[in-house]
Amino acid sequence: MKTESLTIGGRSYSSRLIVGTGKYPDLDIMRLSIDASGAALVTVAVRRIDLSQRGGGRSLLDYIDTSRVALLPNTAGCTTADEAVRVARLGREAGLSDLVKLEVIGDERTLFPDNEGLLQATRVLVKEGFTVLPYTNDDLVVAKRLRDAGAAAVMPLAAPIGSGLGIQNAVSLRLLLEEIRDLPVIVDAGVGTASDAAMVMEIGADGVLMNTGIAGAGEPIKMARSMRLAVEAGRLAYESGRIPKKLYATASSPMERLVRDDS
Amino acid sequence: MTIVCNGERLEALAGATVSSLLETLGIASGRVAVEVNSRIVRRDEFPRLALRDNDRVELVHLVGGG
Q: Any bridge partners for residue A229, and if so which? A: none
Q: What is the pLDDT of residues A128-161, one digit of tens each?
A: 999 999 999 999 999 999 999 999 999 999 999 9
Which residue on chain A is closest to B64 by alpha carbon? A22
Write A121-125 long-range contacts (CB < 8 A, 24+). A121/A75, A121/A81, A121/A84, A121/A85, A121/A88, A122/A146, A122/A149, A122/A150, A122/A151, A123/A149, A123/A150, A124/A81, A124/A85, A125/A85, A125/A88, A125/A100
Domains of chain A: 11-49+58-240 (3.20.20.70)
Per-residue pLDDT at A223 exceeds 90: yes
Distance CA A144, CA A140 (A): 6
Catalytic residues of A: 101
**Do the Cβ atoms of B36 and B52 come closer than 8 Å?**
no
Cβ of A44 within 8 Å of Cβ of B63? The answer is yes
Nearest to A74 among B5, B6, B65 (CB): B65
Q: Is residue B50 part of a domain?
A: yes
- Residue of B9, B41, B62 to mutate, interface with A, max A Cβ within 10 Å: B62
Contacts of B43 in chain A (CB under 8 A): 93
Q: What is the pLDDT of residues A85-118, one digit of tens each?
A: 999 999 999 988 899 999 999 999 999 999 999 9
Which residue on chain B is closest to A189 by alpha carbon? B66
Distance CA B1, CA B52 (A): 7
- The residue ranges of DSSP E strands in chain A, in sequence order, are 6-8, 11-13, 17-19, 41-48, 70-73, 99-102, 131-136, 155-156, 186-188, 207-210
Contacts of B6 in chain A (CB under 8 A): 48-49, 51
Distance CA B21, CA B13 (A): 9
- The residue ranges of DSSP E strands in A78-142, in sequence order, are 99-102, 131-136
Name the residue among A248, A232, A237 with its Cα closest to residue A203: A237
B15 lies within 8 A of chain A by CB: no
Question: Does residue A219 sit in helix, strand or coil?
Answer: coil
Distance CA A127, CA B9 (A): 35
Q: What is the pLDDT of residue B31?
A: 84
The CATH number covering residue B33 comes to 3.10.20.30
Contacts of B64 in chain A (CB under 8 A): 20-24, 27, 30, 44-45, 60
Distance CA B42, CA A114 (A): 30
> What's the predicted TM-score (pTM) here?
0.93
Q: Is residue B53 part of a domain?
A: yes
Distance CA A222, CA A224 (A): 5
Nearest to B64 among A22, A56, A90 (CB): A22
ipTM summary value: 0.95
Residue ranges in chain B modelled with pLDDT below 70:
none
Q: Is residue B65 part of a domain?
A: no
Contacts of A26 (CB under 8 A, 6+ apart): none
Q: What is the pLDDT of residue A1?
A: 44
Q: Is residue B29 part of a domain?
A: yes
Q: Is residue B25 part of a domain?
A: yes
Supply the range of the domain harboring residue B38.
2-60
Q: What is the pLDDT of residues A191-208, one digit of tens each?
A: 999 999 999 999 999 999
**Domain count of the fold of chain B:** 1
- Residue of B10, B35, B63 to mutate, interface with A, max A Cβ within 10 Å: B63
